[in-house]
Structure 1
């Protein structure tokens, strides 16, 4: 897909090699947890025990708290999400990282699509009006976007395995916790729905990044072709 200006060196991978061997197993474990939670809450229309405990902790939130939750929630709505994606894509292009820009669109898009498919497969509902709730698409979106952004930062900074993995997981945790909290406060999702959305992003983004790297590298090799001789 792309090559650096000097010579024929490959463009930087969007899934940095130092953390690839850690994030791919993490993605596999996350996918299994998404499925486990989905099976646990399939066709349910009420909170589970863990949900009840967490919901009790956020009961009675004030107006200011709800306003803050609405502001965070807006980041996952179509207008807010489009603005965030456009900003990150623009940043990738300014840094001359078109492969990363591709990951922004494909990685985040795949995470959101996965949540929509899973909602219909699991069939969990909330608020008694048939709204499908598991897993949370808002939580998956913001977590996926944070993962893509921090993967780019990790690759550019040249962090090692331990530091790079820690940074990636902390960024995912912060983004997922922020959006998950907002969804719980607004009664849009059960806590376990947000957990499922977080795991969905952790499962999808590293796998998508690995795929983007493979496709881009294969395309570069095909372009270069065999050397004459």
Structure 2
């Protein structure tokens, strides 16, 4: 090592805006969780977006929805995570590689915990639905990739924030559409999963930077 610190996974220029976004997203997750706790049917917002029997998408769009859904399943998600970590390591961005794993695990773990706390179901009492873990996973991964791109390209606050939020919106909308189209989730489940990732990933990125910086300071020789 030459003493230079590794690039931050949460660029300083983006911290304030993404921090505010994380707080607002967490608030949405809590509000929706309270509103739909213990429910077993679609709400008013869900019915406004799509009819309760949403499993009606036909080919070729059904195949697209199934392909997206697979990417959120264990086999598909592991494949994506391994590929993303490999790219980070090839680019010598070890912090980003750590963030990929940490962000995905914490986003999906938080979504799973919330499912048991909220207790909203779809298609039977055993199918917990809020928030959507698939949407949380896909959004979290897109956020990390966008943060890596922002750092790699040296984007400023406006361009960087726009890229990160656009990536999150596209990924969340795509996976959320697939889950609703396959009648696996209500629209508000997808929104909750999207907001879960928006709340978790900036916090994890800040934590990864903080831990890495402290370790770097601890390993750096003291000047006399």
TM-score range, shorter chain: over 0.9
Match of 1:31 in 2: 26
Task: Give CA-to-partner distance per residue, 1:63-103, whole Å, 9 cap, x none.
Answer: 32222110110000111101100110000000001110000
- Supply the distance in 2 between the matched residues of 1:218 and 1:106 (Cα, whole angstroms): 18
Task: Quote the Cα distance in structure 1 between the aligned partners of 2:97 and 2:57.
Answer: 38
- Higher mean C-alpha displacement, 156-165 vs 124-133: 124-133
Partner of 1:11: 6
Aligned to 2:177, the other structure's residue is in SS state helix
CA distance, structure 2, for counterparts of residue 60 and residue 176 of structure 1: 21
Shift of 1:175: 0.3
TM-score by length of 1: 0.94
Q: Residue 122 of structure 2 contacts residue 129 of structure 2 at CA under 8 Å; is this kept in 1?
A: yes
| 2:46–2:187 contact (8 Å) kept in structure 1 | yes
Cα distance between partner residues in 2 of 1:124 and 1:28? 23
Task: Indicate the residue corresponding to 2:135 in structure 1.
Answer: 139
1:70 matched to 2:60? The reply is no
Is 2:184 the counterpart of 1:220?
no
Q: Specify every segment of 5 or more residues in structure 2 that has no aligned partner in the other structure, as ranges.
A: none
Partner of 1:200: 196
Superposition deviation, residue 189 in structure 1: 0.4
Output aligned runs, 1:77-92, within 5 Å: 77-92=73-88
Is the Cα–Cα contact under 8 Å of residues 7 and 151 in structure 2 kept in the other structure?
yes
Q: How many residues align?
A: 223
Matches within 5 A, 1:76-225: 76-225=72-221
Paired position in structure 1 for 2:42: 47
Alpha-carbon separation, structure 2, partners of 1:34 and 1:90? 32
Give how far 1:225 is off.
Answer: 4.1
Aligned to 2:16: 21
> How far apart are the structure 2 equivalents of 1:225 and 1:109?
34
Cα RMSD of the aligned pairs, angstroms, is: 1.3
- Matched position secondary structure for 1:109: helix
Structure 1 unaligned residues grouped into runs of 5+: none
**Cα distance in 2, alignment partners of residues 130 and 112 from structure 1:** 18
